[in-house]
């Protein structure tokens, strides 16, 4: 491993942390790198640090970045990196890495779980049975078929492409909207989100949150999706106009929703708690023990690659995000 001129007895490369690592990560990476909390870094460390590691979704602002003149790489530990000031990173020529495909499979599995749970009312039926209502009040009302539904996927990246493959196996007709068409994809590209919503029974959000995509799902899109339509969000809460979503669900403008992410986590609009046509989760789509091991591998691979001058494993394309 490389050492810098100012490192002393500890030969491990210096990595600044925006917040403490998960204990499992700290244990796995101990001895390979020298970790210092950015807030605790002395002037020498701040001047020397080439890498900033961002555990969880801790915000990385222009101010944080300004304190680190030698910075070259920001290592994210999540699928989305909207908590990092990407404009500043791009302007300074910094590289940014994310979790790559480590979370993609689990996220896609959970998205499909939410689609089935909303359409087939699984969570609501479970609550019904648990309250002893099946014996008392009779059968739970009919839900609607999953197979054959028209599914629109917003963002056909690591997660979206896996959602597509899974729902195609259910016999769903899959179309997608993204910044540009994917020529290798067998699914139908729809240039306008509004058209995708109008032609879909289920809309799944699996794209990055950027200035362009913020509140992309607004009232117009929800009206187009319609009173029998279902919205599933495993992207970011900010993709959806949340107060409008609550109104549309309450008024029957939109048929149902499966939500893993919210505008102000962990705050969830309480009006949703009383709705049977909604399934709520605590931003857990990505999280399984296996995916946590997977993301640790990606982080380690990126750090190793950087410090030995090799190409990064999961760089985020900054020039196409936040174009404006």
Partner 1 sequence: MASAIAAATAPPTGAQHSVLLLRRANDYLAATLRARYRVLSFYDSGAPLPAFLAASAALEPEPPRAALVVGGGAIRLDTAFLDAAPYLRCVVTTAAGLDHVDLAECARRGVLVAGAGEVFSTDVADHAVGLLIDVLRNVSAADRYVRRGLWPVQGDYPLGSKLAGKRVGIIGLGSIGSSIAKRLKAFGCVIQYHSRRPKDGVSFGYFHDMISLATESDALIVVCALNDQTRHIVNKEVLGALGKDGVVVNIARGGNIDEAELISALREGKIAGAGLDVFEKEPVVPAEFFSMDNVVLTAHEAVFTTESGSDLCDLMIGNLEAFFDGRALLTPVLPK
- Contact residues for partner 1 (CB under 8 A)? 105-106, 109-110, 112-114, 116-117, 120, 122-123, 125-130, 132, 134-135, 138-140, 142-148, 165-166, 168-171, 265-268, 270, 273, 279-284, 287-292
Position of tokens 């403490």?
Answer: 20
Residue written as token pair 């491993």? 1
d(CA 294, CA 100): 10
Query: Would you say 249 and 272 are in contact if contact means Cβ atoms under 8 Å apart?
Result: yes
DSSP string covering 234-247: -S-GGGB-HHHHHH
Instruction: Please identify which of the residues 2, 265, 271, 290 carries the catalytic annotation.
Output: 265
Closest CA relative to residue 107, chosen from 237, 229, 205 = 205
Q: Which is nearer to partner 1, 87 or 265 (CB)?
A: 265
What minimum distance in Å lies between the beta carbon of 165 and partner 1?
Answer: 5
Tell me if 302 sits within 8 A of 97, measured CB to CB.
Answer: yes
Calpha distance 113→146 (Å, rounded): 11
Q: Of the two residues 106 and 242, which places its CB atom closer to partner 1 in the complex?
A: 106
Instruction: Record the tokens describing residue 34, joined without a space.
Output: 């020298």
User: Which lies closer to partner 1 via its Cβ, residue 145 or residue 323?
Assistant: 145
Smallest gap from Cβ 259 to partner 1, in A, equals 9
64 given a catalytic annotation: no
Pick 155 or 294: Cβ nearer partner 1: 294
Is residue 236 flagged as an active site residue?
yes
CA 14 – CA 32 distance, rounded (Å): 10
Rg (CA), the chain: 22
Question: Shortest approach of partner 1 to residue 28 CB, angstroms?
Answer: 17
CB of 64 to partner 1, least distance (A): 25
Unique residue bearing structure tokens 């591998």: 297
3-state secondary structure of 1: coil
Q: Quick check: 171 and 150 in contact, CB under 8 A?
A: no
DSSP 27-64: HHHBTTBEEEEGGG--HHHHHH--EEEE-TT--B-HHH
| Cα–Cα distance measured from residue 57 to residue 75, given in angstroms and rounded to the nearest whole number | 12
Active site residue: 165, 215, 283, 297, which one? 283
Nearer residue to partner 1 within complex by CB, 175 or 210: 175
Judged by beta carbon, residue 131 or residue 323, the one nearer partner 1 is 131
Which tokens hold the place of 147? 């197979």
Cβ 144 to partner 1 shortest distance, Å? 5
- Catalytic residue (one of 83, 236, 242, 244): 236
Q: How far is the CB of 69 from partner 1 (least distance, A)?
A: 36
Query: Which residues participate in catalysis according to the annotation?
Result: 236, 265, 283
């Amino acid at each position: 491993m490389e050492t810098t001129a100012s490192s002393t007895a500890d030969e491990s490369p210096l990595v600044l942390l925006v917040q403490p690592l998960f204990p499992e990560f700290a244990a796995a990476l101990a001895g390979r790198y020298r970790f210092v909390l950015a807030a605790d870094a002395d002037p020498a460390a701040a001047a020397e640090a080439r890498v900033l590691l961002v555990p969880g979704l801790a915000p990385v602002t222009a101010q944080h970045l300004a304190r680190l003149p030698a910075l070259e790489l920001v290592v994210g530990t999540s699928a989305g990196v909207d908590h990092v000031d990407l404009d500043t990173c791009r302007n300074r020529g910094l590289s940014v890495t994310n979790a790559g495909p480590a979370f993609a499979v689990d996220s896609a599995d959970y998205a499909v779980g939410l689609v089935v749970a909303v359409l087939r009312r699984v969570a609501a039926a479970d609550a019904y049975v648990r309250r002893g209502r099946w014996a008392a009040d009779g059968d739970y009302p009919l839900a609607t078929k999953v197979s054959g539904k028209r599914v629109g996927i917003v963002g056909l990246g690591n997660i979206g492409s896996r959602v597509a493959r899974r729902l195609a196996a259910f016999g769903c007709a899959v179309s997608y909207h993204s910044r540009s068409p994917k020529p290798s994809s067998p699914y139908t590209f729809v240039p306008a989100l509004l058209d995708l919503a109008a032609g879909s029974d289920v809309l799944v959000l699996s794209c990055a949150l950027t200035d362009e995509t913020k509140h992309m799902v607004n009232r117009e899109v929800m009206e187009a999706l319609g009173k029998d339509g279902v919205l599933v969000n495993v992207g970011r809460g900010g993709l959806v106009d949340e107060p409008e979503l609550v109104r549309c669900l309450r008024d029957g403008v939109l048929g149902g929703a499966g939500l893993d992410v919210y505008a102000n986590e962990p705050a969830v609009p309480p009006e949703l708690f009383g709705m049977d046509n909604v399934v709520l989760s605590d931003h857990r789509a990505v999280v399984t023990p296996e995916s946590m091991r997977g993301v640790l591998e990606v982080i380690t691979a990126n750090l190793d690659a950087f410090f030995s001058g090799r190409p990064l494993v999961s760089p985020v394309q900054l020039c196409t995000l936040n174009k404006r």
